[in-house]
Amino acid sequence: MPDFELSSVAQQWINVVLIWVGFGTLAGLLARALVPGTDPPGAVGTVVLGIMGTTLGLVALSWALKRPTFNPISPIGFFASVGGAFLLVILYRLASVRWPVDGDDRGR
């Protein structure tokens, strides 16, 4: 079986994607732990929420501090990631109360 080799650029992009997925997962789990309650999204929803929260938190931090980029692998990047995911959990909860899903009577 031949060896499978990627270019250095492809390896770098794969590493970046894995970092974002890893930190997104951690940020999503921590944000869901900080806001207790039951949510319909399962594991995939938590990962997606965490990745979106990581993106939101790091973009907001870059905008606030006028720096071009932040890496989630840093204490400030991790706190920004968790903060973004926390905000998304709160917004999700508010939206689910305002516009309940069929069969969900929390908003009534």
Stronger pLDDT, 6 or 108, i.e. the higher one: 6
Q: What is the mean pLDDT of residues 6-33?
A: 84
Q: How far apart are CA 60 and CA 87, in angstroms?
A: 12
Q: What is the DSSP string of 32-72?
A: HHHS-S--S--HHHHHHHHHHHHHHHHHHHHHHHT-S---S
Q: What's this model's pTM, rounded to 2 decimal places? A: 0.72
